[in-house]
Structures are given as structure tokens and as C-alpha cells.
């Protein structure tokens, strides 16, 4: 039995007085592909942002590869993690955002190269080759010297994926990466994610509204409702055979 | 006696131009001073402590609301009289420090709006890529924050250039001072002051055009970045 690479243990999150996550327990195993579905405002984004260290949990623990992400030991006591501690762990995690967040002042090749060089101190030549390979893989080999503003939304999102992948994370997070795109560009982005999901051995957590896609790539689906994991199981169990009325109601909206 | 003499007009040119390097020198030095000091204000204001923030904001407001002339007088005449910390500064140094500090408060605001024009998503992406705080600033934020501020910085450079003549009141021997002393020697100021006007026009106008050009060029590259002018 392999050990999980990420464990959420009774994780709570409040914004002000409003508790948006009410006790999340979740194991993510190496190479596992998890789809997170659920109504708007149920806390899907917040779950993965806490793992990316963009949001701090109010309570509970997130363990990454055996290390507590948000807490550290200091003089025999557990205290809040500092930036140095977060940086040591964060390198295992990568994220792709809904609005791409590419660096507009850099070419797309530079977008991919800057972090491996400056964060990991890797050899520039090697990083360049790897970045070019990755951009070719996502179908943008002919655009490496373009700036983000010269690309379509779908192309930008594929660059964002390449940029995250060249860092070789163990866990990749995707937050509704197709929902800011024109409908005709969604397919090309899902195709790239499908390719990564089928061929790479990273763990992946995908927040998505694309049910067919979740059925196709996810090993496990979580249905989040009002801050709790209301249902989880294999993709077909949750999406096709769930008895839970909340799940059925939610899914009925996608079946026109 | 005629009001205007071309003879005097041409005689005055070399005399007045002797002050040009002082006027230009003060402008450039004070502007560099303000560029650096503006950065200090910007980072002081980012300290997440309420009291420090409050103090810094009000010190800046105070400096900005006081006329530069009063500040020059203070630095040149009053400062040396203060025990222990008081030092006598030359008119040149007084003007550089005075204009430098005064304009640094505007420039700090320009930097701030430049930094705020960078979307939050840029910070988040650089956190997700695990950049250090220094690298976030150096590689991601400042390279985006700075270019859209260049036209506004240029405007302040010209505004400052046009303010520098008031330093003749503390004895700075710039072009206005030279014009004044030429005028009083010849009992007629009109030619000398006309020359000062021409010099300012000849130097300011092309600079303003250059800045305008730069602005158009930058706007096409950074089309979505908007920076707010603190004066507006
Ligand atoms: N920074 C914040 N400050 C205050 N409230 C927040 C903040 N971020 C999220 N929330 C609230 O937390 C709740 C959960 O938000 P979250 O973005 O995780 O939901 P979601 O499931 O991703 O929704 P969507 O499908 O619309 O993206 C929402 O009610 C949201 O308004
Ligand atoms: Mg969301």
C-alpha cells in the first residue's frame, strides 16, 4: 500500500465569520487524478489554493510528503510556518489558474524558463531545451518567441501548463482552467490535460465543470457541497450512479 | 532709452549660458535623488504596521503641501542654525536636497500606483512557481510596474526643471540668477529674461514631445496597465 503524497486532516477555512470549508479529510496518492466538482461557492477553489499556499487554513493540517505544510517545529513547539518552510515544500506543487496569469513582459519561452533557472538554480541550456520540448508538447513549438498578448486564450492556457510542468511538480492543481475560454478553445486545452494525465505520473487535482472530461481522466471524483465532501468515489460512481439527491440535482444542470 | 536692444540681447547670451550647467545639473541631480528617495517612501508605506503607515503618510503629505520655496529656505537658512544636526550646505546641494525630497513624495506615489497596477494574479503565479520574495519583485513585479510610470516620471522631470529657477533666491547661480545680474548691470531686464524663456522653451518642448512618444509606445505594449497620476 503506497503512502499518500498529500493528506488533508480535518481542514477548516473561514473568511471572516463565514466558514467556507467545514472539515475536509482527503488523501491524494502519487499519480492519482482527482476531479473536484460541486456548485459555485462550495469551496472547490479554496481547497486547492490552501495546498498551493495561497490561502492559509483556519484549522486542521495539510501534510505534503510527510511534512506539515502550514506548521513547523520551533523549540519543540508547533508554530505557524514561515516563508522559508513554505518554500521548502511548495516546490512539489504546481498550479494552473483560471486566468492563466502568464508574465506579460516575457516571451513564452522566458515564461517557462525563469522559474527553473532562478528558483531551482538549474543549468540554463538544459532548462531551455526542456522548455522548448514542453512547449512543443503542448503544440506551441512555433510560438516560443511570442509574447503572451499575441496568443489566444487557449494558447495562453497551454503555455501556463508548460510553465508549471517544466518545474516538475509532484502534484499539479488545475482551477477551472477552461472556464475563461471561448467554447471553441476548450477542446485544445482539455486535450493537453488528457495527454498529461494519461502519460505523466504526477498527482493531479482538477477543479472542473467538464463532466465528460472528469469521467474520462479522473480516478476519483469528489463532490463538494457547502464546504464538505458530500460524496466521493470512482468517476462513474459519482457522476453516473450516485443516489445522492444533491449530486443528482447538481448534475442535472449539465444534462440540458 | 529704448526698451529692446539687439546688441544687449546678443551680449547677454554667453553670460546667461554660463549658468546653464548649474540649472541643468541641479535638475538632473535632484531628479536622481527623488527617484531613489521615492523608492524609500514606497517601501516605507508598504510596511504592514498601522502606526508607521500613518506617520509615513502624513510626513509625505506635509512635504507635498509645503511650497518648495519654503523648504529651500529651511534647508539653506534655518537648518544650519539647528544645534548638533545642523550643517551649512551650498546653494547647489541645498537645491538638490530640497527639490529632491519635495519631488520624491510625488515619485513615491507614482511608483505605488505602478506597483498596484500589477494584477494580483502575477503575485499568485510567482508564488505558485516558488519564487523568493526578492525574485518576485526583481523579476516579475517591478519590470511590469516600472515601464508604465516612465511618461509620468518624465513629466515630473520637466515640472522640476521649471521649478529650479526659484533656487536663485538662495543664491544658486543658474540661468535666472545670471539673467538677473546681467539685467541689473545694464539697467534692463527684458532681453535677459527673454533669453531665459527661450532656453526653457528649447529644452522643455522637445523633452515633452519625447515623453509623449514614449507614452504612445509603452501604451501599445502594456495596454492594460493604468497608472494614476498623484496630481490628478
Ligand atoms: N478571499 C476571500 N474573501 C472572502 N470570501 C471568500 C474569499 N475567497 C472565497 N471566498 C468565499 O468562499 C466561498 C468558497 O469560495 P470558492 O472560490 O472556494 O468556491 P468555488 O467552489 O471555487 O466556487 P466557483 O465554482 O464559483 O469557483 C465562497 O462563498 C466565496 O465567496
Ligand atoms: Mg472556484
Q: Spell out which residues of chain A touch residue B140, defining contact as CB-CB under 8 Å.
A: 103
Cβ contact (<8 Å) for B131 and A167? no
Domains and CATH numbers, chain A: 6-92+170-252 (3.40.50.300), 103-168 (no CATH)
Q: Does A150 touch chain B (CB under 8 A)?
A: no
Residue B223 is predicted with a pLDDT of 46
Provide CB contacts within 8 A for A36, sequence distance 6+.
Answer: A44, A47, A48, A205, A206, A207, A208, A221, A222, A224
Is the distance from the beta carbon of residue A49 to the nearest atom of ligand 1 less than 6 Å?
A: no
Q: pLDDT value at position B214?
A: 83
Output the pLDDT for position A138.
96
Contact present, B67 and B89 (Cβ < 8 Å): no
B209 found inside a domain? yes
Cβ–ligand 1 distance for A13 under 6 Å, the answer no
CATH classification at residue B122: 1.10.3720.10
Determine the pLDDT at residue A29: 97
CA distances from B3 to A208, B15, B190 (A): 83, 20, 8
What pLDDT sits at residue B224?
A: 43
Intra-chain end-to-end CA distance of chain A, in Å: 41
Express each pLDDT in A29-73 by its tens digit: 999 999 999 999 999 999 999 999 999 999 999 999 999 999 999
The answer to whether B124 contacts chain A (CB < 8 Å) is yes
**C-alpha angle A155-B222-B152 in degrees, rounded to nearest 5:** 170
B129 backbone dihedrals φ, ψ, rounded to 5°: -90, 5
Instruction: Give the pLDDT confidence score for residue B215 in this predicted structure.
Output: 79
Model pLDDT, residue B216? 81
Closest by Cβ to B143, choosing from A53, A99, A105: A105
What is the Cα–Cα distance from A58 to B26, expressed in whole angstroms? 55
Residue with the smallest CA separation from ligand 1 atom 9 is: A46
Is the CB of residue A20 below 6 angstroms from any atom belonging to ligand 1? yes
ipTM of model: 0.95
pLDDT of residue A237: 93
Confidence (pLDDT) at A111: 98
d(CA B129, CA A46): 18
Domain with B17, as residue range(s), is 6-226
Residue with C-alpha cell 486566468? A99
Q: Which three cell numbers stand for residue B159?
A: 515640472
Q: What is the pLDDT of residues A80-98, one digit of tens each?
A: 999 999 999 999 999 999 9
Question: How many distinct structural domains can be found in chain B?
Answer: 1
Q: Which residues of chain A have pLDDT under 70?
A: 1, 256
**CB spacing of B121 vs A99 below 8 angstroms:** yes
pTM (2 d.p.): 0.87
Please indicate, yes or no, if residue B231 is contained in any of the structural domains: no
Strand partners, A229: A224
Whether the CB of A208 sits within 6 Å of ligand 1: no
Pairwise CB contact (< 8 Å): A167 & B124: no
pLDDT at B78: 93
Neighbours of A233 (CB within 10 A): 14
Mean pLDDT by 10 residues, chain B (232 residues): 83 92 96 96 92 94 95 94 91 96 96 95 98 96 91 93 93 92 90 94 90 79 52 52
Tell me if chain B has a CB within 8 Å of the CB of A52: yes
Residues 6 or more apart whose CB falls under 8 angstroms from that of A128 comprise A109, A113
In a domain, B1, yes or no: no
Q: How far apart are CA B142 and CA B147, in angstroms?
A: 9
Euclidean distance between CA atoms A105 and A80, whole angstroms: 35
Q: Identify all chain B residues contacting A93, using CB atoms and an 8 Å cutoff.
A: 128
Amino acid at each position: 500500500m503506497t503512502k499518500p503524497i498529500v493528506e488533508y486532516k480535518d481542514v477548516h477555512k473561514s473568511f471572516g465569520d463565514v466558514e467556507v470549508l467545514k472539515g475536509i479529510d482527503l488523501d491524494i496518492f502519487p499519480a492519482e487524478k482527482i476531479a473536484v466538482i460541486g456548485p459555485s461557492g462550495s469551496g472547490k477553489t479554496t481547497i486547492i489554493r490552501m495546498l498551493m499556499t495561497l490561502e492559509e487554513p483556519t484549522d486542521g493540517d495539510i501534510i505534503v510528503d510527510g511534512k506539515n505544510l502550514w506548521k513547523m517545529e520551533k523549540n519543540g513547539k508547533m508554530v505557524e510556518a514561515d516563508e522559508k518552510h513554505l518554500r521548502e515544500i511548495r516546490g512539489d506543487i504546481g498550479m494552473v489558474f483560471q486566468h492563466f496569469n502568464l508574465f506579460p513582459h516575457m516571451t513564452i519561452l522566458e515564461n517557462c524558463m525563469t522559474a527553473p533557472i532562478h528558483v531551482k538554480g538549474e543549468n540554463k541550456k538544459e532548462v531551455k531545451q526542456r522548455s522548448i520540448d514542453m512547449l512543443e508538447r503542448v503544440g506551441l513549438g512555433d510560438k516560443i518567441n511570442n509574447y503572451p498578448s499575441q496568443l489566444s486564450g487557449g494558447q495562453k492556457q497551454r503555455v501556463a501548463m508548460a510553465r508549471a510542468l517544466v518545474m516538475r511538480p509532484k502534484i499539479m492543481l488545475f482551477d477551472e482552467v477552461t472556464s475563461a475560454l471561448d467554447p471553441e478553445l476548450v477542446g485544445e486545452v482539455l486535450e493537453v490535460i488528457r495527454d498529461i494525465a494519461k502519460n505523466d505520473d504526477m498527482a493531479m487535482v482538477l477543479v472542473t465543470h467538464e463532466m465528460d472530461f472528469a469521467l474520462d481522466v479522473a480516478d476519483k471524483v469528489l463532490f463538494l457541497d457547502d464546504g464538505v465532501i458530500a460524496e466521493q468515489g470512482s468517476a462513474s460512481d459519482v457522476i453516473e450512479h450516485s443516489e445522492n439527491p444533491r449530486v443528482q440535482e447538481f448534475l442535472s444542470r449539465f444534462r440540458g | 532709452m529704448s526698451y529692446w536692444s539687439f546688441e544687449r540681447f546678443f551680449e547677454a547670451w554667453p553670460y546667461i549660458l554660463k549658468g546653464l550647467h548649474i540649472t541643468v545639473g541641479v535638475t538632473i541631480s535632484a531628479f536622481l535623488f527623488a527617484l531613489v528617495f521615492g523608492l524609500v517612501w514606497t517601501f516605507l508605506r508598504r510596511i504592514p504596521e498601522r502606526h508607521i503607515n500613518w506617520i509615513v503618510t502624513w510626513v509625505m503629505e506635509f512635504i507635498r503641501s509645503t511650497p518648495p520655496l519654503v523648504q529651500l529656505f529651511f534647508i539653506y537658512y534655518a537648518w544650519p542654525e539647528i544645534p548638533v544636526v545642523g550643517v551649512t550646505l551650498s546653494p547647489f546641494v541645498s537645491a538638490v536636497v530640497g527639490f529632491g525630497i519635495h519631488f520624491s513624495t510625488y515619485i513615491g506615489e507614482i511608483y505605488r500606483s505602478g506597483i498596484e497596477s500589477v494584477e494580483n494574479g502575477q503575485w499568485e503565479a510567482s508564488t505558485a512557481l516558488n519564487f523568493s520574495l526578492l525574485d518576485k519583485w526583481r523579476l516579475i513585479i517591478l519590470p511590469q510596474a516600472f515601464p508604465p510610470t516612465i511618461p509620468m516620471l518624465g513629466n515630473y522631470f520637466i515640472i522640476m526643471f521649471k521649478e529650479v529657477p526659484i533656487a536663485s533666491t538662495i543664491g544658486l547661480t543658474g540661468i535666472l540668477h545670471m539673467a538677473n545680474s546681467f539685467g541689473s548691470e545694464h539697467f534692463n531686464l527684458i532681453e535677459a529674461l527673454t533669453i531665459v524663456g527661450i532656453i526653457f522653451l528649447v529644452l522643455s518642448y522637445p523633452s515633452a514631445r519625447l515623453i509623449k512618444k514614449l507614452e504612445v509606445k509603452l501604451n501599445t505594449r502594456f495596454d492594460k496597465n493604468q497608472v494614476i497620476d498623484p496630481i490628478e
